[in-house]
């Protein structure tokens, strides 16, 4: 067996010494190769990866680099395995771990953080001050799957127990990969104050986070929830996830439409579009004292009407990822069937066909939203264990 003596394993879940893993070469270049199966250390478990969703941030990392940071630099030609929205089954426990059991299904958050900096200690581990410092003589133990440490486009990965979220048996593997996306939307609404019951929310941009932002806002009791975007099929999906009104900004001015539905303006905007004028429009949509959460990052630096923000006491929050254990709250909503996140899962591929899966996600082939790759060996192992 590959695992050290202080790691607990079970004959029901045999752990091989080597695994298949995708690694990143030059920008855009992925190769299927073999790596040793990593061993969990203190406060870590080994997860057999059963399914991974592809995220727009994976595409950013694979083609452009940031926010990945490997050994202080770009992630290219460093034997790095990307992929961060994965779920699976625990197959080995590091020394001292009794919080989880072998055989338990989990989905994972991306950021473990370093656990020792000011922000980690506040629960803001997605804003860890030691981001990427996990090598050589700057080893602060920072971990972020598929960003600063190896991720999920492989068969096994180690995870800090702080990143694990238990998955209910009634939830499919594909649905479980969406917990972290719903968790990001939940984190945004948490930062806006969390108590949005009876208050009005606009979500701009019906990508995966925007669509699940609608779902989470509705589950939290917001009313009305208004979704803006450019594609009718996505807006229709937003209605199924709980939007009371949708606005196609190709057909009507979004600010006028929002102010028609909610005279005086809404309480909150969750900005998920990254459109150049999005902040200015959001500032026109909220009422005085309203709050805006920015969950998408534009590539350029847009001009913003600061005076309007100041005169109207408008708050703006940037959020990064899924902090403050928001994934646990998102998973609870999904377990209670408060919304059907699987509506945004459109395609599945075998892990061996990752390149084709990425093409679907990148080029939005057949209107792809969330594309999931699955580990076919996991299904047979699961059958054998039962
Ligand atoms: Zn993601
Ligand atoms: Zn930290």
160 and 43 fall within a common domain? yes
Q: What is the H or E stretch that residue 191 is in?
A: helix 179-191
Per-residue tokens: 355? 């390149």
Q: Which of 318, 353, 372 is the last residue of a domain?
A: 318
Condensed to tens digits (0 to 9), the pLDDT of residues 9-48 reads 999 999 999 999 999 999 999 999 999 999 999 999 999 9
241 and 379 fall within a common domain? no
Would residue 231 count as lying in a domain? yes
Condensed to tens digits (0 to 9), the pLDDT of residues 298-316 reads 888 999 999 999 999 999 9
Closest listed ligand to the CA of 160:
2
266 and 307 fall within a common domain? yes
Cα–Cα distances in Å, from 171 out to 183, 249, 337?
16, 35, 10
Q: How many CA atoms lie within 13 A of 264 on its CB side?
A: 6
Ligand 1 centroid – CA 181 distance (Å): 6
Cis peptide upstream of residue 224 (ω within 30 degrees of 0): yes
How large is the average pLDDT for residues 171-180? 97
Q: Give the pLDDT band of residue 380 (cuts 50, 70, 90).
A: confident
- The predicted structure's pLDDT at residue 111: 97
Q: How many residues does the chain have?
A: 386
Which residues are in the CB-under-5-Å shell of ion ligand 1?
55, 57
Closest listed ligand to the CA of 116:
2
Ligand 1 centroid – CA 220 distance (Å): 22
Ligand 1 centroid – CA 227 distance (Å): 21
Q: Give the pLDDT band of residue 376 (cuts 50, 70, 90).
A: confident
Residue 54 reports pLDDT greater than 60: yes
190 and 298 fall within a common domain? yes
Would residue 307 count as lying in a domain? yes
Across-strand partners of 156? 48
Would residue 314 count as lying in a domain? yes
Neighbours of 256 (CB within 10 A): 12
Q: Provide the Cα torsion 170, 175, 176, 177; round to 10°.
A: 170
Q: Give the pLDDT band of residue 195 (cuts 50, 70, 90).
A: confident
198 and 279 fall within a common domain? yes
Would residue 57 count as lying in a domain? yes
Pinpoint the alpha helices (H) of 26-74. 56-63
Number of domains in the chain: 2
C-alpha Rg value of the chain to the nearest Å: 21
How large is the average pLDDT for residues 335-352? 97
pTM assigned to the model: 0.95
Ligand 2 centroid – CA 133 distance (Å): 10
Condensed to tens digits (0 to 9), the pLDDT of residues 133-143 reads 999 999 999 99
Ligand 1 centroid – CA 224 distance (Å): 27
Would residue 327 count as lying in a domain? no
Could you tell me the residue range of the domain that residue 205 belongs to? 182-318
310 and 210 fall within a common domain? yes
Closest listed ligand to the CA of 120:
2
**156 burial type by CB count under 10 A (0-12 exposed, 13-18 middle, 19+ buried):** buried
Angstrom distance (rounded) from CA 206 to CA 225? 13
Closest listed ligand to the CA of 151:
1
Q: What is the CATH number of the domain that holds 41?
A: 3.90.180.10
191 and 274 fall within a common domain? yes
Would residue 122 count as lying in a domain? no
Closest listed ligand to the CA of 140:
2
- The predicted structure's pLDDT at residue 377: 80
Q: What is the CATH number of the domain that holds 198?
A: 3.40.50.720
- The predicted structure's pLDDT at residue 1: 54
Would residue 357 count as lying in a domain? yes
Phi, psi dihedral angles at 41 (to 5 degrees)? -100, -170
Condensed to tens digits (0 to 9), the pLDDT of residues 88-126 reads 999 999 999 999 999 999 999 999 999 999 999 999 999
233 and 277 fall within a common domain? yes
Q: What is the H or E stretch that residue 156 is in?
A: strand 156-160
Residue 59 reports pLDDT greater than 90: yes
Angstrom distance (rounded) from CA 386 to CA 381? 9
Q: Is 337 strand, coil or helix? A: coil
Closest listed ligand to the CA of 115:
2
Q: How many CA atoms lie within 13 A of 96 on its CB side?
A: 6
Closest listed ligand to the CA of 122:
2
Would residue 227 count as lying in a domain? yes
How large is the average pLDDT for residues 162-171? 96
């Amino acid at each position: 067996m590959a695992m050290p003596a202080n790691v607990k394993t079970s004959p029901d879940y045999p752990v091989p010494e080597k695994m298949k893993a995708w690694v990143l070469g030059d920008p855009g270049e992925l190769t299927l190769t073999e790596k040793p199966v990593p061993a969990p250390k203190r406060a870590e478990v080994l997860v057999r990866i059963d399914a991974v969703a592809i995220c727009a941030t994976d595409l950013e990392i694979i083609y452009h680099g940031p926010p990945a940071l490997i050994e202080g630099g770009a992630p290219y030609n460093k034997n790095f395995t990307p992929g961060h929205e994965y779920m699976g089954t625990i197959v080995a426990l590091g020394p001292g771990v009794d919080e989880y059991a072998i055989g338990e299904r989990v989905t994972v958050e991306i950021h473990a953080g370093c656990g020792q900096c000011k922000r980690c200690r506040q629960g803001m581990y997605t804003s860890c001050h030691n981001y990427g410092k996990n090598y050589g003589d700057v080893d602060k133990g920072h971990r972020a799957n598929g960003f600063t440490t190896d991720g999920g486009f492989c068969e096994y990965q180690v995870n800090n127990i702080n990143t694990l979220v238990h998955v209910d048996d009634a939830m499919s593997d594909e649905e479980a990969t969406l917990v972290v996306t719903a968790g990001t939307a939940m984190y945004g609404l948490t930062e806006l104050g969390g108590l949005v019951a009876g208050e009005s929310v606009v979500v701009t941009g019906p990508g995966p986070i925007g669509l699940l932002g609608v779902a989470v806002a509705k589950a939290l009791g917001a009313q009305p929830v208004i979704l803006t975007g450019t594609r009718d099929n996505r807006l229709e999906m937003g209605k199924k996830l709980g939007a009371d009104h949708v606005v196609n900004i190709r057909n009507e001015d979004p600010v006028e439409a929002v102010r028609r539905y909610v005279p005086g303006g809404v309480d909150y905007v969750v900005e998920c579009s990254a459109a150049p004028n999005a902040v200015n429009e959001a500032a026109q949509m909220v009422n005085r004292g309203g709050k805006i959460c920015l969950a998408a990052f534009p590539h350029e630096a847009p001009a913003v009407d600061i005076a309007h923000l100041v005169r109207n006491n408008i708050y703006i929050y940037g959020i990064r990822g899924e902090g403050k254990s928001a994934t646990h709250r998102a998973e609870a909503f999904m377990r209670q069937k408060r919304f059907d996140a699987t509506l945004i899962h459109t395609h599945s591929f075998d892990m061996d066909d990752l390149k084709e899966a990425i093409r679907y996600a990148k080029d939005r082939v057949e209107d792809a939203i969330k594309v999931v790759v699955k580990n076919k060996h996991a299904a047979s192992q699961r059958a054998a264990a039962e």
